[in-house]
A = this chain, B = another copy of it.
Amino acid sequence: MSKAWHLISRPQGLPTMDNFALRELPDAPLEPDQLRVRNRWLSVDPYMRGRMNDAKSYAASFQIDQPMTGGAIGEVVESRMEGFSPGDMILHMGGWRDGGVVGLDMMPNKLPADALAAGLTPQTFLHNMGLTGGTAWIGLLRVAAAKPGDTIFVSAAAGAVGSAVVQIAKAREMTVIGSAGGAKKCAWVKDLGADAVVDYKAAPVLSGLTQALADLGKPGIDVYFDNVGGEHLDAAFATANDFARFAICGMIDVYNDGKAQEMKYLIRTIPARIRIEGFIYTDQFFDCMEEFYADMGGLIASGAVTMRETVHEGIESVPDAFLGLFAGENMGKMLVRL
Binding site for B on A (CB under 8 A): 47, 50, 57-60, 229, 234, 242, 248-251, 254-255, 258-264, 266-280, 283
Contact = CB atoms under 8 A, between A and B. Distances in A.
Residue among A242, A251, A272, A278 with max Cβ neighbours from chain B (10 Å): A278
Contacts of A272: 59, 278
B271 A58 contact: yes
Given A242-B59, A273-B283, A254 B267 contact: yes
Contact of A280 (B50, B59, B270): B270
A261 B249 CA distance: 21
B280 A271 contact: yes
Nearest to A284: B273
A301 to B, nearest CB: 32
A120 B213 CA distance: 51
B229 A268 contact: no
Contact of A279 (B47, B273, B278): B273
Contacts of A57: 268, 271
**Top 3 closest pairs, chain A to chain B, by CB:** A269-B278, A260-B264, A270-B278
Contacts of A278: 268-275
A266 B229 contact: yes
Given A59-B271, A59-B272, 9 more contacts: A50-B267, A229-B266, A251-B267, A261-B264, A261-B267, A262-B262, A269-B278, A273-B278, A274-B277
Contacts of A249: 270
A272 B283 CA distance: 11
A58 B251 CA distance: 27
A258 B280 CA distance: 32
A60 B229 CA distance: 28
A40 B142 CA distance: 48
Contacts of A273: 277-280, 283
A321 to B, nearest CB: 22
Given A50-B271, A271-B57, A266 B277 contact: no
A198 to B, nearest CB: 20
Contacts of A259: 264
A82 B302 CA distance: 59
A157 B229 CA distance: 30
24 contacts: A47-B270, A50-B267, A57-B268, A57-B271, A59-B271, A229-B267, A248-B270, A251-B267, A251-B269, A251-B270, A258-B264, A258-B267, A260-B263, A261-B262, A261-B263, A261-B267, A262-B263, A263-B263, A269-B276, A269-B277, A270-B278, A275-B275, A275-B278, A276-B277
